[in-house]
Every structure is written in C-alpha cells, then in structure tokens.
Amino acid sequence: MTESMPKWIERLVNHLAHLPRSSKRLLMLCADTLGIPLVLWTAITLRLGTVNHDGGGTEWIYGAALLTCVPIFARMGLYRAVIRYLGPRAIFAVVTGVTTSVILLSVLAFFWPNRAIPISALPIYWSFALIYVGGSRFIIRGLLNFRWSNGTQRVVIYGAGGAGVQLATGLVRSGRYHPIAFIDDSTSLQGSTINGLEVFSPRSLPDLVSNEGVAAVLLALPSQSRRRRQEILKAIEPLSLLVQTVPDYGDILSGNARVEDVRDVDAGDLLGRDAVPPNARLLDACIASKVVMVTGAGGSIGSELCRQIVRLQPTQLLLFEMSELALYNIERELKALIASEGLTVDVVALLGDAHHKHRVKEILQIYGVQTIYHAAAYKHVPIVEQNVVEGIYNNIFSTWNAAEAALEARVETFVLISTDKAVNPTNVMGATKRFAEIVLQGLQMRSTHTRFCMVRFGNVLESSGSVVPLFREQIRRGGPVTVTHKDVIRYFMTIPEAAQLVLQAGSMGKGGDVFVLDMGKPVRIADLAKRMISLMGLTVRDDENPDGDIEIVYTGLRPAEKLFEELLIGTNVTGTEHSMIMRAMEHSLPWHQVQQVLDDMSLALSRFDCDKARQLLMQTVAEYKPTGDIQDLVWSRKVALTHAELKNVTALQTRRLRVSTPPHGPTSH
C-alpha cells in the first residue's frame, strides 16, 4: 500500500515545521490556553447532560484550570520540547500537569461556596485533558515525522531488539527511509507490534517485498556473529534487495557512530568468519610500555597497526611515513583516538623513507625504539611489474636498510609484513617480498640481540586498491564490474583481524621465523562480485538475465597475475600458541651469499638494467618463475627505441655537456 495525504495538510505541516522556535512555543501555549477551558466545559456538559450550566459566577473555574496546568507544563519543559522528538518525559509532564490541575480544582470545587462544578465531572475532565494535551502533540509529531517524498525508500529492519527499535526511531526522525516492519528470528516476537511496527518471520520477507514494495533491508544485529550475519545475507541475496547495516556496538558506544548511521554491509560479513579472540599476553609482549615504530604508518595495514598499538599503551608510537598527507591523516586520527579514550601514548609523526638507512638509524637511537613493524612496501602487482627498479628499491633495499639500522641501534624486535604472493611468485612484487624475507633470515644469522620475523598473509578486505572498494565504486557508477578471470580465487582477511594477528605473531618470533596466518577458505572473485551486486539491491546482467542492472566483464589475467595464491612454499609447517598462526620452516641463504646478491643487484639498478635485476631475483628466489617478458614501462620503451634513436639521444646528451663545459676549460676574467 502507498500512503497519500491531502496537499493542503502537507503544506500546512511543512509550514509549521519551518516556523521559528519562539513561534512554535507561542502556538503551543495558545492551543492550551484555548483548549483546556474547552475540555473542562465539555466534561461538565457531559456530566450535566446540558449546555446550560446553572450557577452564576463560576467562570473563574476555567481560569483556575489554566493556572493549575500551564505553569506546571512550562516548569517541566513541555513548551521547550521539540515536538518531533517527544518521548516518555513529555508524557510524564502531561500526566503530572493534568493530574495536579484536577487535584487543585477538586479542592477548590469542594470548598467553594455554591459548588462551582460537580466533583464527578473532574474524572471526565482528567481523561479528556490527557487526550487533548498529549494526543494533540503526538499527532503533530506523527505528521512532522511522516514523509511524502516519492524517493523515500520503504524498508524492513532485520532485528527487533534494542538496536532495531533505536534504528526505527532514528529513521523516522531523519526521513531517509520509511520503516514498515521488523523481521526477527525469535518466534516469541513474531506477530507482536513494537514501536508501531509488526514483527514478521524471515520467511515473510518475499511477501513483504512483493506486497509492500520493500526496497531495502537494514540489519540491526550489531552483536550477532559474522557467521550468523553471513547466513542472513545468503538468505536475502536472491531477492536483490539493498542491504545495509547499523554500525558495530563498539563504534556506537564510543560515540563514533549512531544507530541510524546505516552503512553498506561490512566486507567482513561477506566472508562470514568470526575473528578468534586475541591472546592478551601475546598482544602486550612487544608493545606495552615500549617504544614502537611503524614504517608505512599511513597505509592500509600500517594505519590499522597504529590504531591497535595505541590501545595497547606503548610509551611512544613513532609514525614513519614518506607520504606527507598520509602521515598528517593518521597522526590526526590517532590523537583524536587518544583523547577520546583517555590514553597516555605519545605519538610522534616522522617523515622519511625507509631506504635512507642513516635517517632510520638516527631515529631508532634517539628515541630508543624497541619494536619495529615494517609495513612500508609497494604491493600492487601490476604497478610494481611496470616499475621494476623502484619496486626492488622499496621492497628489498628499504627492508635491508631499515633492518641494518635496527641491528646497529640494538632494536629488540623487527617484524616484516609480508604477503602470500611471496610464495612461488610469478611477479616482481611477490619475488621482492620473498627476497626481503631471505634478507631478514640472513641478517638473523648475524644478530645476537635483534629478533627478525616475518608475517605472511593474503589480501585484506577494504585495503587501498583491493577488489571490494573497487567493485563498490563500479556498482555505484552503474557498472560494469571488472574481474580478471571467472576462476580466479584469493584468500581474504579483514584489516583489523590481519593487524591483530601480526601483533601477536611478532611476540612469538624466536628469530628468522616465517609466520603464516590462517586465511580460511579462498574466495572466488566472480562470486564475490555477484554477491556485492545483489546485496546493493541490483541484479547481474548476463545471458540468462539480459535485463539485469550490472554486467560483469572478464578482462583477462594481468601480466604476472596468478589464478590462485598459496601461503606455503613447502609443507613443513608447525602450529603455535595461537590457533590461526602457523610457523613455516622454509629455506634460507647464508648472509655472505645474500650480501653478494645485494651488491650485484645494487649495481644492476644503478645501470637501470632490468634484465640483470630480474636474473638476480630468479637466482635468489628459486621459486620465482616469470610468466612473460619484462613489463617495466621505461625499460620496454628503451628496448623499443631504434639504434638510430638511441644514437640521437646520446648525441643530444653529449651536445648539452659540451655546451655547458667550454672545450678549453672555464674562462677567467
């Protein structure tokens, strides 16, 4: 059914809603001044059965009714209340004011000569006054909260608990959606009415969609497990409804969000895996009361590490970041978090590149850093594939220089954030990350005081450049959604879960350890795209449904991209104190051999020799099997130039040199 309302009422209510506050208060006062005496007159008329009230000189009783009601209403804030947000406090004020008025009128009527009014009329007056004063205000509230806009979405709220009731109230106030019913799994609630909305079973949802024009489902289940929310999403998915959810209770309780701030379904709900509770001892071991530094502090993983580290109360947290904007944003966010939660952590924001060893060493020594989480890296496979030299510099040499600085500054723990792409890599990014692991394994052989360890995991949901935000953006633009291959699969983990496990794994390292996180079951990317389309209220356009909303386009695997990723090079893996963290026993190289390759690599990079650099990667990372030619954009351009063009470029450079330097040396004056 579709609500309709006469236009003149709509215009009148809109006009009233936009009156100044002082005018609204005056209007309420005038309504009570006129209405309360009329209500009393009506009560007396009903009691006597006639409009002719005998007994002259009793007109004062109407003034007395006003004087006993209105001041109490004013004292209790009824005229200051915002009509749209009236609640239990307003009801209490109305009942108190009217009841007090009746009691005083009863006393006056009883003792006043010639009985001004019959005492038996006062109960009638009491009930009528409650209906008039309270009812009129709640009718106006309902009209003000009603929305006639055709664009207002009709929604059902899944969850009739406290969060659901708050959500329904907030939605009515905001006017963003029009809630028409609750859905709840509890059979004890089904069939009841809560906050004016009937509660249905989940089986009734298809009927509500077809009969009531429901366009969206809002999940009010902040305390439910991810596994249960995924089950609910799977049940809703075939209906192609927009599905949104209320924020987590943690955000609500901290004041960072309100219940009515509905948002897109959390990417973690798509996985349906509940995070394992952290081991508090493992979390604290490398952080509590220590000086901690995070490199790449402004990145997706680095920033989440910082958020979790701050709550573990280190003495100082050093944010090391080469991007000025990213550093500014994470510093501001962390300082706001510290202030809101009453923490006592000293946050230090430092610009710098981990490739600059002396800069890193100076920082480590001056601040007395005890733990480093090295998250600074280039991680996007196609970009690194097209910028081989910079990828090697940032992923290998930055790690080496930062680790050498840590050795010389006698840092206690150095944790490298690695990736599943380091296993049997087919691309430069994966090969450089595995090379970085080998560097740290080699350095561990030289170290007597610094523990080096690596934590390897797969893709993180919602990180910059990951598929989830990309798909969401493409869907909002109307498609198409681009997937490289219909069979490509990836491991996924939420950013907070990955960061939490990294912190715990770092505490278990004995030196040279490679830790692997349990990523659960891999996800088919094409299936993820289809689910996201359905849960945003749209349908997939394909051969079976040519009239669908969003098309999925398969673009083909990108250069050096794999259909699936692995987490282990071999099968030699053991468990740890944490059920989701495994220790991989993988081969390493002696330091003198690693040192020689690093020297050769440095020479190749200085000559911009991508061919030699890739050969050295293959020599060091035995599992690295490139799937094609070198993709570096500058290298490819250089190779494509003809011999004549190269000669012209050289001649031009020589000519510039000659122009800048006279043949007989500088001229003296």
Tokens 């209105």 correspond to what residue?
70
* Dihedral, 513, 570, 495, 410 alpha carbons, nearest 10: 20
The rounded distance, in Å, linking the Cα atoms of 353 and 357 is 9
Record the tokens describing residue 433, joined without a space.
């990350």
The rounded distance, in Å, linking the Cα atoms of 210 and 215 is 10
Return phi, psi of residue 325, to 5°. Answer: -65, -45
* Residue 494 · residue 460 · CB < 8 Å: yes
The DSSP secondary structure of 620-665, one letter per residue, reads: HSTT----SS---HHHHHHHHS-HHHHHHHHHHHHHHHHHHS-TT-
Which among 371, 419, 416, 411 is positioned nearest to 398, based on CA atoms? 416
Helix or strand (DSSP H, E) at 603: helix 591-606
The DSSP secondary structure of 546-593, one letter per residue, reads: TT-SEEEEE--PPTT--SS--S-SSS-EEE-SSTTEEEE------HHH
* Residue 309 · residue 503 · CB < 8 Å: yes
H-state helical runs in 76-225: 88-111, 121-145, 162-174, 205-212
* Residue 430 · residue 418 · CB < 8 Å: no
Determine how β-strand 481-483 pairs with β-strand 513-517. unpaired
The rounded distance, in Å, linking the Cα atoms of 44 and 105 is 13
Looking at the annotation, which residues are catalytic? 421
* Residue 128 · residue 43 · CB < 8 Å: yes
H-state helical runs in 266-323: 267-271, 280-285, 300-311
* Dihedral, 299, 305, 307, 313 alpha carbons, nearest 10: -140
Which among 214, 206, 242, 245 is positioned nearest to 228, based on CA atoms? 245
Record the tokens describing residue 335, joined without a space.
């300082």
The rounded distance, in Å, linking the Cα atoms of 506 and 371 is 9
Helices (H) then strands (E): counts for the chain: 25, 23
Determine whether 445 is exposed, middle or buried from the number of CB atoms within 10 Å of its CB (0-12, 13-18, 19+). Answer: middle
Sign of CA dihedral 170, 173, 177, 179: positive
* Residue 456 · residue 420 · CB < 8 Å: yes
Helix or strand (DSSP H, E) at 389: helix 388-392
Which among 73, 58, 170 is positioned nearest to 118, based on CA atoms? 58
The rounded distance, in Å, linking the Cα atoms of 197 and 297 is 47
